[in-house]
Structure 1
């Protein structure tokens, strides 16, 4: 990585449209620098939200970023971090901005909740995605995690999920992943809403870690930056959120509903998925790749 200078020169053939007769030819040159960055030196790869690298995530880490923003504002960081400087680039975008502060605050707030329910977009192989092209099919997954220190697992997880119907549409029926195969529920009749989505597990505690409850195939129809949001289900007590090791219903205020952003790009010619027969068969057959339950979706940065 580094900086290189590139000069582009354009020459025309002049009045006789002949490049070999140079007397009447005209030329134009433009020089510009190209910077290739290597590792994000301001990002703490061991624990991104540990800004002062003391091994502990606390409000101090958020205050360091906030104080820096108050003094210097949001700005792009230098290619090299000076010795002793704080690890300000929490979200690894080579900038220090309010987004870095809120990432720390959200991390700290997780400790106030008992359970997380969130939305994670996946490609057709089960990998988490942040962007795709118009026309592509992807899976919207409902993911849950027991956030208690003595995690025994989430027994039942249900939520109402909102999505922008102007940008995406339902492309198939819901699939439910083991152990969440009981009490299966979803309703997609209202555009922009997946109503009462969820299920409950079986006799065995699931323990800690993130688990995919269900997936629904979706199709991107219009470019834009969109947000999926989850909120409390309405059908109680049938769709209460419940935890192993507790007979109490989880208070909605103790549920961390995580929103997710997805960038939909204009489809470039020759790129992206097309609605070929094999893709339609995949959706019609209600097949889905089972991603590993050990992936902690709620801990990714």
Structure 2
């Protein structure tokens, strides 16, 4: 019998989620008391965390009992103190989690227009906050065919309707205000491209945060590819989705660093299951030290970003 190390005790503990949620709630409450703009993103994070729990529980993303998927996600979201007031980032995060949670219910079901409609409604909702998420649509449709095995004319039409519904409400609101030009300008942003690879436009805190998330993504991807034979086919297909979207978002971020906050939100959502899989299912001394290093780094980054947020926001 293999020895349980600190990594495994924490990853398999029923109390881990309680402690992580409590610590994250404390951080967000402190930030909210200092800056009321944090309240709405905090509510979005609460909903996103619940959906991450549903995503893990409903799809058995990890083949042992572990709550590391939702815990990893919550740690990522709480580390980025500079993004706490960003409603756009919070909505993109919620929309991405909602898309995964709902679209995975369509697995091998070409006659699931309801779940497909709701999944793409989440993408449509996120696109109102950040229209560039529409660039991911071809990837999502390909994924529906190759990984979810659910692409059909009926489901495809449902996805279009789901995307359009938020804009039906949005355009009605703008029409009532008599300012439909906002909608035109909104879609015009799809044709706006900023200087690529300009990472110098990001602050040190932002660079550290994205480096940490990408490091976790790399570790999770390499680990999964090395041991994917131990998972069932359904789980492999789901993790391939996470890897595909993760790599796509990382490339998008390098090409357009201007969209840092929204893309980091997507990366947090898609990286959480990958690094959680690594934490929960490895048992070597090396991986234990990697877990300790990443955990301590996360706490340090979170404290530094929180301190900066409390001393620079008004």
TM-score, structure 2 normalization = 0.29
Structure index of larger Rg: 1
Relative to its length, the structure with more strand (as a share) is 1
TM-score, structure 1 normalization = 0.30
Relative to its length, the structure with more helix (as a share) is 2
| Structure having greater relative contact order (Cα 8 Å, sep ≥ 6) | 2
